[in-house]
Structure 1
Amino acid sequence: MKLAVLGAAGFIGQRIVTLLRAHGGYAVVPVTRRTTGAIAHMVEADARDEQSVTRVLQGCEAVIVSIAGSADMIEDIVAPIYSASEKAGVSRIIYLSTGVVHGQAPDYGTDESSMLRHVQPFAYNLAKIRAEECLAAMRRGGDVEVVILRPTVVYGPGSRWTQGFADDLYADVVTVFDRGQGICNAVYIDNLVHAIEQALHAKLAPCQAFLINDKASVRWRDLQEPVARALGIDFDQLPHLSSEEVLARYSGPLSGRRIPNWIRQIKQRIVRDHAWSEAAYEQALLQSCRYQLPIAKAEKILGYSPPVSFEDGLRRSVASLNIPARRGLPI
């Protein structure tokens, strides 16, 4: 099968290309806006330019969309990619969305049949919702099949959730919420690629979405503590906050209020110049989650069966950390 991977230079895109090439049976065309040395035989195309995308999709049976970017970028690429796929004769689009279309902390009982959460404070989440809706609408009037995958926390060697967390620990800018007891809807990168491969071949209704997680129920502490330990840091000694308090205090303006000492103490930890950043609020929400998104639909219809356990995926991630001691820097 010949297929294209759009966004092939990113963390997820690179691994998709690497694994599918290794598995055999695929002629993989890695596509990025600007070629880099990260992947061999990279092809340039601007995903917002229908003509450019049509050119690189010639002869492809499928296209995997793994493009990161701004909210505007996420929305702007969908229609050109679908139209280009039709013109190039592509049969199926695999679109990587995100579980946060259901919110950072989804309600208990949420699954693929649940309404998407259109009232959210994050532009990225809303853009993914609109992108999904655009794809569904175009599929209703078009010939190209669409499969939407919704992973949330995609971890693995070099990911923002492991390497990024290590970098933040070294920079002393980490705050942990609820002592890491919240549910982390995590999926190891190779398990996500497995889901993609299953989605390439499954017999499906016209447009379907699938939540993708590891099988194990994982807490944020389970993901973060081994990374801290690798740097010689005691996870329990990190700054810890209650997500409930943070979210309650973020819900309205702080001006005119007496700011408690504990807030003053974390102002510089959360962001150097801003007491309450969107990133801190987003993390508080994400780590306040108490519900594991189900993968039953993906298991039943796609035949999804995560090949890498959480323990093994985390071990690989920690073993690959580029930690300060290995860079020759003081800890």
Structure 2
Amino acid sequence: MRAVTELREGSAVLIDGGRGVCNTTYVDNLVDAIFLTLENDAANGEAFFITDGDHVTWGDFIQAHARMMGIDTPLPDVSSSELRALYGKAPSLISSSVRGAAKALRSREFRTVLLQIPAFERALKSTWEWLESLPESRRQDIRSRFGVPRRKFVPPFAVPLPDEVTFQTQSGTVFFSIQKARDILGYSPRINFQEGMLRVEQWLRFANAL
């Protein structure tokens, strides 16, 4: 749904021409793998990569959504080097997620809902008292970690700016091998990427999302 939303809003962007690796997993394939692990004692204590088994790029993934939406204009492109200049370094998915969570926690609406939970209200009060007990320099350091926006960066040709999580995700270069799952579980994807996208389109149209 995120790809559809971004394409509809005009904020979808390809990084490095969409060459990053996209390890897709259709839900039916995932369910098959779960049942195989439950039925196979050799799976105990093991970890497996479960994907559709196809070499798919983010360009393939996003363009497939664009086609089902009838979008045939070229998507804007930005290079990873430009984004690294913006972010200072390749961002950590964990740190990006922490900043996103902090942003949500700072929102008035979110706090209003959470304050209705007594345990959270007590935790928030304790946290506030702890922050107030810190030296001002330390409080400023904490604020800078979670509250100060990064400098604005405008890519050439007014390309929409992807967030750090999108940058991290679309810049991936590792194809997850399912060979271990094949060998131990007998896993074989029933739904390939093309078939999966056809089913996704059918579902989106059924849900009036296209």
TM-score, L = length of structure 2: 0.62
Paired residue type of 1:173: S
Query: Structure 1 residues 289, 223: closer, same or farther in 2, change over 3 A?
Result: same
Identity of aligned residues (%): 34
More helix by share: 2
Structure 1 position 302 matched with structure 2 position 195 = no
Unaligned runs of 5+ in 2: 90-148
Structure 2 equivalent of residue 166 of structure 1: 4
Partners of 1:177 and 1:240 within 8 A in 2: yes
Structure 1 equivalent of residue 15 of structure 2: 177
Partners of 1:247 and 1:281 within 8 A in 2: no
Structure 2 equivalent of residue 241 of structure 1: 78
Shift of 1:234: 2.3
Structure 1 equivalent of residue 155 of structure 2: 262
2-structure distance, mates of 1:181, 1:205? 33
SS at match of 2:59: helix
| Pairing 1:148-159 to 2, within 5 Å after superposition | none
Moved over 6 A (4+): none
2-structure distance, mates of 1:212, 1:249? 33
Unaligned runs of 5+ in 1: 1-162, 271-278
SS at match of 1:218: coil
Query: Which protein has greater RCO, CA pairs closer than 8 Å, 6+ apart?
Result: 2
Partners of 1:243 and 1:287 within 8 A in 2: no
Shift of 1:193: 0.7
Paired residue type of 1:288: S
Shift of 1:205: 6.1
SS at match of 1:168: helix
TM-score, L = length of structure 1: 0.41
Query: Structure 1 residues 319, 205: closer, same or farther in 2, change over 3 A?
Result: closer
More strand by share: 1
Query: Structure 1 residues 264, 218: closer, same or farther in 2, change over 3 A?
Result: closer
Partners of 2:43 and 2:185 within 8 A in 1: no
Partners of 2:82 and 2:155 within 8 A in 1: no
Q: Which of 200, 203, 207 lines up with 2:38 in the alignment?
A: 200
Structure 2 equivalent of residue 229 of structure 1: 67
